[in-house]
Each structure stands twice: as C-alpha cells, then as structure tokens.
Amino acid sequence: MNKFDYTITIQWSDEDNCFVVFFPEFSQNVMQPFTHGETYEEALKNGQEVLELIIEEYQEDGKILPQPKTFVFA
C-alpha cells in the first residue's frame, strides 16, 4: 500500500476562495479539509505532501492505516 492508493478530493471553496483538499479514508480520524491551494495543481501538490506526512505519522505511531477505497467500473 502506498500514498497513491488513497483518494484525494479537491473542491473549490467560495468561502475560502481557493481549492480545498480532503482525504475521505482519513475523515474519521483527522479534521478536514487537510490543505488547500490557489490553483488545482497547487492543491494537488499540497495534498500529496500532506498525505505522505499523515501516512508517516500513522506508521510512526503504530496506527493501522485505513483501507483505501476502490472504484469499480460497471
């Protein structure tokens, strides 16, 4: 399992005037949104960096990582 197995959701926020980043698999354990960006690309880059840090923290603390969600094409 690696960081690319997890879902990254990026949505525009009128309130914050930026793109905000959520990680659905971690929504029960960490306050959302996790990060943001002025552009979609910046939000994705920031999201990938934060996801790496979250995974590292889970591993250092001996926590079990959540199961990645999968999308099944019908």
DSSP H or E segment with residue 20: strand 18-22
d(CA 32, CA 45) in angstroms, rounded, equals 17
pLDDT at 1: 55
pLDDT at 68 exceeding the cut of 70: yes
Beta bridge partners of 37: 19
Mean pLDDT of the chain: 89
- Least Cα distance to 9 among 39, 43, 49 occurs for 43
* pLDDT exceeds 70 at position 71: yes
Percent of the chain beyond pLDDT 90? 70
Are β-strands 9-13 and 18-22 bridged in parallel, bridged antiparallel, or unpaired? antiparallel
Structure tokens at 50: 């934060």
Note the pTM of the prediction, 2 decimals. Answer: 0.82
Band of residue 41 on the pLDDT scale cut at 50, 70, 90: very high
Rounded to an integer, what distance in angstroms lies between the CA atom of residue 2 and that of residue 20?
A: 22
